[in-house]
């Protein structure tokens, strides 16, 4: 593999040395090439954003409040983060995951489903909606999407869809909501980042959890998908 150390540099700069990349997702392959990994994490600066954890229900990963009495803006922070259909695996940072799922079940497409959605309405940040899909119904295919506020007019949404070649073993493609901390938070820009996925599922999840800012990290989860299409979810919660 000749990627000139790019994944390690991306990991160091955008994850380990970044106080606030926000929510993030990675789709890639295990180092041995025998499984696919879908990684997702959430972070929070406010009390409401930190009042969350991941819950696993079979193949579904969802966010839930730790203390329901302290829940604020549930429409933006409570959602299914991972869903799946036979041979198709979805990960997203909001309830657009359900929009994608419902569209695919009805014969629609990933891109058409997201054409019906906008960036989040949380002014002044206008958090991007990031989504990913792994399709194993045929040659493996990865789709990634960012819905973010138009820089000239944040009432409008720019829609970026990526159809990259599947990454090689031990590598994954990453989107995050933000480039870093700030007021307002700077939206993710540029192409998906190539990231390392070294070791087994638990090692990969642990490496990213350890690298995320300790004060702002909230939860992380990894779905491992085997060649026969079976999947297994694991998670780490701060609370």
Whether residue 19 lies inside any domain: the answer is yes
Q: pLDDT digits over 146-202, tens only?
A: 999 999 999 999 999 999 999 999 999 999 999 999 999 999 999 999 999 999 999
pLDDT at residue number 72 = 82
121 with 129: CB under 8 angstroms? no
Within-domain flag for 1: no
Percent of the chain residues past pLDDT 70, beyond the cut:
100
Determine how many CB atoms are found less than 10 A away from the CB of residue 140.
15
CB within 8 A of 133, min separation 6: which ones?
Answer: 88, 89, 90, 91, 100, 110, 142, 143, 144
Q: Is residue 123 one of the residues assigned to a domain?
A: yes
Domain annotation covers residue 138: yes
Domain CATH for 221: 3.60.20.20
Statement: the pTM of the whole predicted model exceeds 0.85: yes
Q: Which pLDDT does position 71 carry in this prediction?
A: 81
The boundaries of the domain holding residue 10 are 6-237
What is residue 48's predicted lDDT score, i.e. its pLDDT? 85
Q: What is the pLDDT of residue 1?
A: 61
Q: What is the pLDDT at residue 163?
A: 98
Which pLDDT band, with edges at 50, 70 and 90, does 25 fall under?
A: very high
pLDDT score recorded for residue 98: 98
Is residue 193, in this structure, part of any structural domain at all?
Answer: yes
Averaged pLDDT for residues 219-234: 96
Give residue 3's pLDDT band: very low, low, confident or very high (50, 70, 90): confident
Q: What is the pLDDT of residues 67-125, one digit of tens each?
A: 998 888 888 889 999 999 999 999 999 999 999 999 999 999 999 999 999 999 999 99
For the chain, what is the domain count?
1
- pLDDT band for 26, please (50, 70, 90 cuts): very high
């Amino acid at each position: 593999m000749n990627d000139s150390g790019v994944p390690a540099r991306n990991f160091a700069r955008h994850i380990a040395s970044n106080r606030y990349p926000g929510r993030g997702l990675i789709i890639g392959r295990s180092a041995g090439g025998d499984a696919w990994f879908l990684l997702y994490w959430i972070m929070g600066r406010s009390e409401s954003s930190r009042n969350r954890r991941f819950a696993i229900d079979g193949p579904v990963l969802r966010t839930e409040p730790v203390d329901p009495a302290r829940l604020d803006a549930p429409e933006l922070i409570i959602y299914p983060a991972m869903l799946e259909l036979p041979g198709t695996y979805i990960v997203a940072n909001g309830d657009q995951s359900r929009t994608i799922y419902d569209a695919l079940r009805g014969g629609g497409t990933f891109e058409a489903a997201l054409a019906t959605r906008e960036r989040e309405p949380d002014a002044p940040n206008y958090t991007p909606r990031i989504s990913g899909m792994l399709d194993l119904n045929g040659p493996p295919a990865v789709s990634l999407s960012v819905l973010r506020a138009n820089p000239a007019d944040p009432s409008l949404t720019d829609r970026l869809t990526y159809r990259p070649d599947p990454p090689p073993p031990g590598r994954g493609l990453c989107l995050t909501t933000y480039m870093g901390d700030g007021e307002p938070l700077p939206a993710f820009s540029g192409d998906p980042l190539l990231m390392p996925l070294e070791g087994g599922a638990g090692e990969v999840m642990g490496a990213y959890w350890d690298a995320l800012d300790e004060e702002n990290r909230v939860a992380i989860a990894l779905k491992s998908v085997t060649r026969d299409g079976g999947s297994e979810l694991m998670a780490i919660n701060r609370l």
